[in-house]
Amino acid sequence: MVGVLHQQDIDAVGQGCNVIAHLILARLHKDRFAGDLAAGVAGRRIGLPPMTLLYFDAAPDRLVDTESVCRPWTPGLGRYYDWLLRRFLRAAEAGDDDGLFDCITASAEYNQTVVALPRWEEWLRLATESRCGLMVAHSGTFAGLLVPPERAGGMRARLEVMTGAPVFVEQP
C-alpha cells in the first residue's frame, strides 16, 4: 500500500510523535495520512508492508483526561522525532519490517514519560521477543502490537491470555 502526504493534512498532526502512528493507521485504513512538513515528508509516497494492528486497553480501570495531558515540546524532543521519522521513512523505503517496528516502539517508549501504562515492561518484552511494533495512544490507555498478518491469529490469542480482556483487530 502506498499513501501520499498532502499539504492540507500537514497541520492536523504537528508533532513528529504522531506522524508514525498516522502513517500506520492510514496504511490500515487505505486512506490519506497526515505528515509533518518540518520533517520534510510532505508530498512523499511511502509504501508500507501489510500489517495487522492488535489493540487493547492496557489500563481499563484508568481514566485519562486527554485535554489535560501535558506533553512538553522541547527542541531536543523535536530533533529526536525528526530523527525517528527519517529512520522510519528509510526503513519503509528499504522494506525493513524490523526497522519499522523498532521506530514504532521507540515512539511508544517515549510516551511512557507522558502517560505511563501499567505492565509496560511486559508489553515491551512481548513486542521485542515477537519482533512486533508496540504502539500506544499518545494521550490514553490503549496499546497495540503491529504484526505481519500471517502472525496475527497467534499473537491475538497470546494477548488475550495476557490481558484477560478483549483484543481488537484492524487489518488492511
Domains of the chain: 49-170 (3.30.70.890)
Contact 31, 126 (CB under 8 A): no
Contact 88, 23 (CB under 8 A): yes
More confident residue, 19 or 97: 97
More confident residue, 145 or 41: 145
Residue 101: pLDDT above 60? yes
More confident residue, 17 or 136: 136
Contact 141, 62 (CB under 8 A): yes
pLDDT score at 23? 52
pLDDT score at 156? 95
Cell of 118: 501499567
Cell of 71: 506533553
Residue 28: pLDDT above 80? no
In this prediction, residues 122-141 reach a mean pLDDT of 89
pLDDT score at 154? 95
Q: Kindly calculate the radius of gyration of the chain based on its CA atoms and give it in whole angstroms.
A: 15
Residue 44 pLDDT level (bands cut at 50, 70, 90): low
d(CA 153, CA 158): 9
Cell of 23: 502513517
pLDDT score at 11? 34
Phi, psi dihedral angles at 4 (to 5 degrees):
-120, 135
Q: How many CB atoms lie within 10 A of CB 46?
A: 19
In this prediction, residues 154-160 reach a mean pLDDT of 95
Residue 147 pLDDT level (bands cut at 50, 70, 90): very high
